[in-house]
Amino acid sequence: MEFVVIAQYRARAGEAERVEDALRKMVAPTRAEPGNLDYQVLRDPGDRSLFVLFERYADQSAFDAHRATEHFGAYLAGVVLPALADRVRLDLVPLTELATSNRIDEQPSSGWRILRLRDSTVTD
């Protein structure tokens, strides 16, 4: 099942350019991963501290493999995350693939607020 991640990052004061540089370094190696379908890094032109990542993977396993890569450890875990004032990550699957209608809110130990959609079917 396709797996989509949308992450919003807000850099701490004075860290935005460092975050941008590290995120730029993530693009090429992430797009080269076998399970990656799309990887976009976006920045708010009116708020230079705000970044959004749009990531598509073949499945949850491909995303998990992405998180285990050297470039994730070096740039995301090593540079970006420590430089953030705030972050939110949404883990999503396409609506057409949902089998039940439950949303699970989690607050994992990593400090991320993750909103997950559990497999769901929409009925009238």
Domain covering 3-94: architecture: 2-Layer Sandwich (3.30)
Dist CA 66 CA 55 (whole Å): 11
Where does residue 23 rank: exposed (0-12), middle (13-18), buried (19+ CB within 10 A)? buried
Question: What confidence tens digit (pLDDT) does each residue in 34-63 have?
Answer: 999 999 999 999 999 999 999 999 999 999
Rounded Cα distance between 104 and 124, Å, is: 21
- At 100 the pLDDT is 52
pLDDT of 85 > 70? The answer is yes
Give the pTM.
Answer: 0.78
